[in-house]
Amino acid sequence: MQKSKSEKYHKILNSAGAVFAEHGFYKATISQIAARAGVADGTLYLYFKNKDDILYQYLSFKTDVVFEKMNVAVAKGTNAESKLRNLIRCHLEEFQSDRNMAIIFQSEVRYLRDIESQVKNISKMYLDLLSDIIEQGQIEGSMRQDLFVGLVKRFILGAVEGVISTWVNAHGRYDLGSMADPLVDLYMTGVRGG
């Protein structure tokens, strides 16, 4: 099986993303993916074992691309708060720029047991980024030291995923990236009135 990351390979991956987003993973077929990519059904088997492998490689590819951008965005921050803003803004903007990816991550992968370990690894990578930022904020004094880092990072991830899910369900009718600052402001200041 050829594993080169050719133009055809990426065209198939992107076509699969569109088909999975439109029809759902279980209803999507190899024929639909091949037709969308403009290749014969058999061509997919030169690059992938089966439909599950296509999804696995799609998620791996998208994860690599997005996390590279997230790491760059975080590195540009000068303190914990700016790193958190950059991370969340990048996360939201990447999902907004690829609605198919947003649909797949929010609607499909949660229910597929075969890729459960891959999803856990993706979550762990994100939570590790958040841990570093939160711990830096606690050292700087911009974030309370009495907070449990594990709880805080899951709170942030849950809020971001909730905003993305709402955007997906609203068919992308508003600027998802514009939600980054309100999310960080909510986290940094809380909901308690003055």
Span 14-46, pLDDT tens digits: 999 999 999 999 999 999 999 999 999 999 999
The answer on pLDDT for 3 being more than 70 is: no
The C-alpha atoms of residue 127 and residue 106 are separated, in whole angstroms, by 17
Angle at alpha carbon of residue 162, lines to 51 and 80, rounded to 5°? 110
Task: Identify the pLDDT of residue 107.
Answer: 78
Q: CB of 81 within 8 A of CB of 137?
A: yes
Nearest to 130 by CA among 184, 178, 191: 184
Task: Identify the pLDDT of residue 193.
Answer: 65
Q: Kindly report whether the global pTM for this prediction surpasses the value 0.75.
A: yes
Task: Identify the pLDDT of residue 120.
Answer: 86
Maximal CA-CA distance, the chain: 64
List, in order of start, the domains of the chain with CATH numbers: 1-48 (1.10.10.60), 50-189 (1.10.357.10)
The C-alpha atoms of residue 82 and residue 47 are separated, in whole angstroms, by 41
DSSP state of 79: S
